[in-house]
Structure 1
Amino acid sequence: MNSSGKSIKISFYPLIVFFAFNFNLCAQPDAPALYQQYCAQCHGAELNGGMASSLVDGVWQFGAEDGYIRRNIKHGIPHLGMPSYERTMSDDDIRAVVQYIRETERNKGVVKPSTPQMVETMDYFLEVETFADNLEIPWAIDFLDGNTALITERPGRLRMVKNGVLQSEPVKNTPKVLHEGQGGLMDVAVDPDFEQNGWIYLAYSHALENSKESRPPAMTRVVRGKIENNTWVKEQVLFEAPAETYQATRHHYGCRIVFDPWGHLFFAVGDRGAGYQAQDFTLPNGKVHRIFKDGAVPGDNPFLYDETAMKSLFSLGNRNIQGMAIHPETGELWTTEHGPMGGDELNRIESGKNYGWETITYGRNYNGTIITELTHLPGMEQPVLYWKPSIAVCGLDFYTGDLFGKWKNRLLVGALKYEEVRLLQVEEDRVVHEQVIFKGAGRVRDVSTGPDGAIYVVLNNPGKVVRLTPRE
């Protein structure tokens, strides 16, 4: 009402619309930030894969429609280790992330940059050449001699490179693997005495074939055999967990195989998605195991005389080790271990020690929730180094060749997430220097010193192996 007593009709509708519109603008989910916070750890910062599959290759195993993808984000895929995000992301957040994935997918008509031919590091210029190409999810490499390499492909093939040429036919009659989720044919290791005995060792995910369950349980298995006329023969099972310990999940199998100077064979079994079981020494998962090369259990294994413990156990509390190496001078076992979101670890593994998972950790669940507030407890070991954020460690080796003299006995660490090879200088139990020596050519699955002193890097996306040498 104005001063003359007449009423004035004021419309607030434009203001309401104005504020609502601007509030909406302010409240729109930041999809790229949400993706980096919750998804990049597994699916890669560029959406092209990491511990989990690529989101921009057009392959949608659990439904290609937006509704299926939103459902999988909200409710998770537990048997593959993908958690539910319904408590940490709203429906609008999830819808925005799916839209972001779709937009990126449409824009990714981009071809991945080609492998560089030369790389500069602090100490050397590196020549980069392709050693083997057109591989399907290569996982590991080892060498029979100076002219022959073996490469595993996770779907279940063992490939051979002779005199620099990838043989077209895989080795026949290799073990049947369960290629699902993170499982398949994983490590290959050549016996240190191969010239005398011809043994080759494989680690893979093994399913119980006689299971009546729709999703047969699986576990990491270790075998050895020989190759004759390009055929896997004379197989011996060195480690097979009791059937009742097999798990229906399809992630966290481990597994690398290494040999120490005293004839021991070490391998690791991941926690299989049941982190609390890593503390239970009656179970195989979440542990490092030590046996002899013929599968026998050493008489000084730390839990040998505990009636309830698995006799092959060497350490406890290891989440998912996918890098193992023996120090060339001390014979000590070093490992790299996937943390959850944050908390990847470098550890020196000692007999009978407990490395804490999942009672203590520097990481969180992938959905951002807290696993535990504890990072230290008496009786549990601290890592030599931890990475936060995680780099998705995979593959580990001490450089032992002669081509890179300045890098002698330094650790080569592969990283899936950031597509890197890192070089670590270790003095006693401390990492005193770390540098990235190779980056951006693909997700690094394995890294190894070859018999020629070159560094061989196994890459996923693209599936290839490259060879690094110093430029003369």
Structure 2
Amino acid sequence: MALLSPDPAGLPVEPVMLTTVAKGLEHPWGMAWLPDGTLLITERPGRLRILRSGRLDPAPVPGVAPVAADVKADQLFASSQGGLLDIAPHPRFSENGWVYVSYAHGSRDANGTRVARARFDGRALRDWEVIFRVNRSKSGGQHFGSRLVWLPDGTLLVSIGDGGNPPVSLDGDWIRLQAQNPASHLGKVVRLNDDGSIPPDNPLVGKKGADPAVWSLGHRNIQGLAYDPVHQRVWATEHGSRGGDELNLIRAGANHGWPVVSHSREYSSGQPVAGSTSAPGFIDPRRVWMATIAPSGLAVYQGDRVPQWQGNLFVGGLVAQGLRRLQLDGQGAVIGESVLPIGARVRDVRQGPDGELYVLTDEPRGRLLRVRPAERPAAAS
């Protein structure tokens, strides 16, 4: 049974100290550090930015033109949720120079999520190569996903949204039902080799009527995905519909229920999306936020700068305009939750190589912020 999050008004608030590391980013979406400490940041309009030695390069990285051209062709980024999305260097970047990005491709009437890789030489991208295309086109500009996470075996997880809310349809029914179609990439997490080929041990390989790239199914729109190397598990946060945002522990082959089971309600009527919140054969979420936080970005803190945060999950909130800090027990059950106010829409949260926690704010002039616990005044003697 899923645990429902307490009313946000009743949660403890942890004051934080925010330091602006960079500003002037246009709707930043994802970030990733290279081995030399360089930080790459995506901007939804189709630009890739570099932060070196604490300073933001004024010019975008050349070589992202294919993304910019695809997105700007119908301005998906300007009026909806598409654009240049997540970024993840190859685990052996120092050897091969590959950087992977996810992005929205296509027109207003036919579009979908893609993953490409290119070699980054410190100045520009080259050898652009699309390694994955969602196998069902959709209309509109909703629910692309799409986070990228490397597993220790060198395979790549990619979260794909369900395609959108009613009245968006496909095959004569609401498109969100594609999340339960094992032949469709929509509403899934897919697992790929680094060249885009399919790992032979994916859970649906060889199963009739299933796409072999599918790793888990029954998702609405995952925009937070993180691997916990200590406990060797994958966490995801996904948007609900009018409440019902979820924290999920993702397993290979698992069905997480959307839209057959859910705590969400319809935007139009306020009625429940599903007839049940739990049912046999579906995996319950570990946490459900009935008051919408709109989760985007997820980090497992393993740094040493803030010992009390060790092993905690940090969930970014767009509507909540802050972070949720979740404390877990050894089995991954949530045993504590608190609010870290940021005061802006949080699009991504990551732990840096320096052991600090960083967030990107989703604003026309977005910021990269370092987040630390506020210093408490010394007790009077």
Higher relative contact order (CA 8 A, sep 6+): 2
Deviation per residue, 1:17-51 (Å, 9 max, x gap): xxxxxxxxxxxxxxxxxxxxxxxxxxxxxxxxxxx
Alignment of 1:443-462 (within 5 A): 443-461=345-363, 462=365
Query: Could you give the per-residue CA deviations for residues 183-216 of structure 1, whole angstroms, max 9, x where no partner exists?
Result: 00000112222222211110000116xxxxxx44
Are the aligned partners of 1:323 and 1:395 in contact in 2 as well (CA < 8 Å)?
Answer: yes
Distance 1:365 1:470 in 2: 37
The equivalent residue for 1:439 is 342
What SS is found at the alignment partner of 1:145?
A: coil
CA distance in 2, matches of 1:262, 1:293: 10
- Report the Cα distance in structure 2 between the residues aligned to 1:356 and 1:319, rounded to whole angstroms: 9
3-state SS of paired residue (2:293):
coil
Are positions 1:430 and 2:333 aligned together? yes
Please name the residue that 1:364 is paired with. 265
Q: Which has the higher strand share?
A: 2
1:409 to 275, 294, 311: 311
Could you tell me how far apart the structure 1 residues matched to 2:119 and 2:373 are?
A: 34
The superposition leaves residues 290-311 of structure 1 with CA deviations (integer Å, 9 ceiling, x where unpaired) of: 1122212111111100132111
Counterpart of 2:320?
418
* Identity in percent: 40
Query: Structure 1 or 2: larger helix share?
Result: 1
Q: Which among 118, 124, 134 is matched to residue 241 of structure 1?
A: 134
Counterpart residue identity of residue 467, structure 1: R
Aligned mates of 2:274, 2:51 — CA distance in 1: 46
Cα deviation for residue 241 of structure 1 reads 2.6
**C-alpha distance in 1 between matches for 2:17 and 2:247:** 28
Give the structure 2 partner of residue 220 of structure 1.
113
Counterpart for residue 378 of structure 2:
none
1:257 aligns with 2:159: no
Contact 1:260 1:331 in 2 (8 A): no
Q: Is the 8 A contact 1:146 1:452 kept in 2?
A: no
Measure, in 1, the Cα distance between the counterparts of 2:118 and 2:94.
14
| Higher alpha-carbon deviation: 459-468 or 181-190 | 459-468
The question of 1:382 aligning with 2:275 is answered no
Structure 1 stretches of 4+ moved >3 Å: 469-472
Distance verdict in 2 for CA 1:229–1:378, change over 3 Å: closer
Instruction: Assess, with a 3 A threshold, how the Cα gap between structure 1 residues 468 and 145 changes in structure 2: closer, same or farther.
Output: farther
Kept after mapping to 1: 8 A contact 2:109/2:140? no
Structure 1 residue 121: Cα displacement: 6.6
* SS of corresponding position for 2:346: strand
The residue identity in structure 2 corresponding to 1:279 is: Q
- Determine helix, strand or coil for the equivalent of 1:134: strand
Shift of 1:331: 2.2
Candidates 72, 84, 88, aligned match of 1:189: 88
1:267 is aligned to 158
Give the distance between the partners of 1:404 and 1:444, measured in 2 at CA: 20
Per the alignment, do residues 164 and 121 of structure 1 end up closer, same or farther by CA in structure 2, a change over 3 Å counting?
farther
Q: Distance in 2 between matches of 1:197 and 1:411?
A: 31
C-alpha change, 1:121 and 1:196, in structure 2 (3 Å) is farther
Q: Secondary structure at the match of 1:133?
A: strand
Residue 465 of structure 1 corresponds to which residue in structure 2?
368
Counterpart AA for 1:412: F
Residue of structure 1 in register with 2:167 after alignment: none
Once the 2 structures are TM-superposed, how far is the Cα of residue 365 of structure 1 from its aligned partner? 1.0
Give the residue type in structure 2 aligned to 1:369: Q
TM-score w.r.t. the length of structure 2 is: 0.86
Contact 2:292–2:320 (CA<8 Å) still a contact in 1?
no
Secondary structure of the 1:277 match is helix
Consecutive unaligned residues in structure 1, runs of 5 or more: 1-119, 209-214
Can you give the 5+ residue segments of structure 2 that lack an aligned partner in the other structure?
Answer: 1-11, 165-174, 376-381
Instruction: Quote the residue 2:38 is aligned against.
Output: 148
Instruction: Give 1:425 deviation, angstroms.
Output: 0.8
Distance 2:328 2:192 in 1: 27
Q: How many residue pairs get matched?
A: 342
Q: Would you say the 8 A contact 1:344–1:386 is kept in 2? A: yes
* Distance of 1:146 and 1:454 partners within structure 2: 16
Quote the residue 2:198 is aligned against: 297
Structure 1 counterpart of 2:60, one-letter code = P
Is the contact made by 2:323 and 2:340 (CA closer than 8 Å) also made in structure 1? yes
Q: Rg bigger for which structure?
A: 1
Mapped contact 2:312–2:327 kept (Cα < 8 A):
yes
Name the amino acid aligned to 2:284. Answer: Q
What TM-score does the superposition give when structure 1 sets the normalisation length?
A: 0.70
Map 1:85-100; keep pairs closer than 5 Å: none
**Pairwise mapping of residues 2-401 of structure 1 onto structure 2 (< 5 A)?**
126-145=16-35, 147-174=37-64, 175-176=66-67, 177-178=70-71, 179-180=75-76, 181-207=80-106, 215-228=108-121, 230-242=123-135, 245-273=136-164, 274-367=175-268, 368-401=270-303
Q: CA RMSD in A?
A: 1.7
Once the 2 structures are TM-superposed, how far is the Cα of residue 146 of structure 1 from its aligned partner?
A: 5.1
The 1-side partners of 2:189 and 2:279 are apart by 20
How far apart, CA to CA, are the structure 1 residues paired with 2:327 and 2:263? 22
Deviations 1:120-158 (A, max 9, x none): 975xx7442111101110111111135310111001000
Conserved 8 A contact 2:147-2:159: yes
